[in-house]
Structure 1
Amino acid sequence: MPNSYDIPDVLDRREGPHGEVVLRRHGDRLEIIANGCFLMDTSDGRSERLLVDAALDALDGRDRPHVLIGGLGVGFSLAHAAADPRWGRITVVEREHAIVEWHRDGPLSSLSARALADPRAEIVEADLVAHVNETSDTYDALCLDIDNGPGWTVTEGNGNLYREAGLASCARVLRPGGVLAVWSAQPSPEFEETLRNAGFQRVRTEEIPVARGVPDVVHLGIRPG
């Protein structure tokens, strides 16, 4: 019988331009590991759903908003957005080709197949930091979940996203009154202050209660109109 002490079963391991990415099965859940750092698994999804819902709520009833989801992960955010008819376009930016393949025809397809078939949804294979710096597209909401938090990034280059210059790039691709929502494994008053210094308004943090330890959070800020 499987138990919490079982060694995870590695289903796929890839070396890409940003390092190693691994998909493994541990009991009844699937896990994604990047460069030896645990990213997420399929055990819950509450915080990923809150990320999407908090962004939509902050848009105050905007009609058919366009959301950019930063990071495909195990697909919870995409699936939740696609299940809500209030969203207009849903763009997911994912830099790891392996993760995209795991969703299209691999073990994660059971979680995301319906969402990927939704005509509103598209996947852009690109580095998120480069995308917000270079794209000419604009969005009503950015829902970012590519790291374990502003102070705990998967790769060093991601750290720029959470500084004032990176947040200015996020603001550039947001339409007036648009919302930035950033998932984190722990609260960060320092990041809240950086959001304010970058010009975001109505900055706040929503917590996701957990059984033990520090709660997951979603940091939110609004681009001025």
Structure 2
Amino acid sequence: MPDTTAWTEIDVGAVPGTPDTMRLMRRSDGFTIMVGKCELMSDLFCASERALATIACDHLRDRPEARMLIGGLGMGFTLGAALEGLGPQASVVVAELVPSVAAWARGPLAHLFGGSLDDSRVEIRVEDVNRVIQAAPAAYDAILLDVDNGPEGATRRQNDRLYDAWGLKRARWALRPGGILAVWSGHPDRKFKARLRRTGFAVEEIRIRSNITDGRRHVLWIATRIEDPNAA
């Protein structure tokens, strides 16, 4: 009788700028994406990834033509929730660094994405989200970042640049007045929360379960751009 608890490797993709590989794994109850022994995402634990977009969209209800940037395609849960929460005139740019992740979205993980990749509001860019942010002054109403396991790059050290003071200033620069920077993390980080405030954001920290039955709690920071940084 086959072992239904064992993971089977489906595909492997290079992580640009590192010697590491990203692996798509499957077993009877679902899929996971891993780098080394680090699980980056799973279709069994996706509530917090969906909440990242749902909460951000709640802040954009007065912006029917909102423009959103999502850093990290993953398994499509954040994108799907964003499309549910945004209106028909909104638009979403998804920046995914790893070409294999974009390919998996139309291959073995297509059932998780449904029709979201073909939604007319969506543009997928196989590109570093950091570059997209740097090229876009006051272009977005919301920027959602889920490109690693938190503000410290576990997958790729260059990801740290998104979360340091310089990166947060660039994100603020890319947001329109009152725009939202929403960040997903697998763990709390008081220093990062303080850094957000110092960079000109009003910050709400939300703890949320990874799914309805799992005890693990992830952290979402919902940071609103304010025009007077001294008021953060």
Q: Is the 8 A contact 2:182 2:223 kept in 1?
A: yes
Gaps of 5+ in 1: none
Listed as ranges, the matches of 1:76-155 within 5 Å are: 76-86=77-87, 88-104=90-106, 106-135=107-136, 138-155=139-156
Q: Following TM superposition, by how much is the alpha carbon of 1:36 offset from its aligned partner in structure 2, in angstroms?
A: 4.2
Q: Following TM superposition, by how much is the alpha carbon of 1:69 offset from its aligned partner in structure 2, in angstroms?
A: 0.9
Identity of aligned residues (%): 35
Q: The residue matched to 1:25 in structure 2 has which SS? A: strand
Q: The residue matched to 2:132 in structure 1 has which SS? A: helix
In structure 2, the CA distance between the partners of 1:15 and 1:60, relative to structure 1 (3 Å rule), is: closer
- Does 1:56 find its partner at 2:57? yes
Aligned position for 1:198: 199
- Does 1:165 find its partner at 2:171? no
Aligned position for 1:32: 33
Aligned position for 1:11: 10
Q: Is the 8 A contact 2:96 2:102 kept in 1?
A: yes
Q: Is the 8 A contact 1:186 1:214 kept in 2?
A: no
Q: Is the 8 A contact 2:153 2:159 kept in 1?
A: no
RMSD, matched Cα: 2.1
Aligned position for 1:209: 209
Gaps of 5+ in 2: 228-232
User: In 1, distance between residues paired with 2:220 and 2:102?
Assistant: 24
Amino acid at match of 1:61: D
In structure 2, the CA distance between the partners of 1:9 and 1:68, relative to structure 1 (3 Å rule), is: same
Give the stretch that moved more between structures: 15-24 or 189-198.
15-24
The Cα offsets for residues 105-164 of structure 1, whole Å up to 9 and x where unpaired, read as x11111114101110011011011222123457110011101111135311111111111
Amino acid at match of 1:27: S
Amino acid at match of 2:6: I
Q: Following TM superposition, by how much is the alpha carbon of 1:85 offset from its aligned partner in structure 2, in angstroms?
A: 4.3
User: In 2, distance between residues paired with 1:13 and 1:54?
Assistant: 33
TM-score (norm 1): 0.90
User: In 1, distance between residues paired with 2:16 and 2:100?
Assistant: 11
In structure 2, the CA distance between the partners of 1:196 and 1:136, relative to structure 1 (3 Å rule), is: closer
TM-score (norm 2): 0.87
Aligned length: 222
Q: Is the 8 A contact 1:83 1:115 kept in 2?
A: no
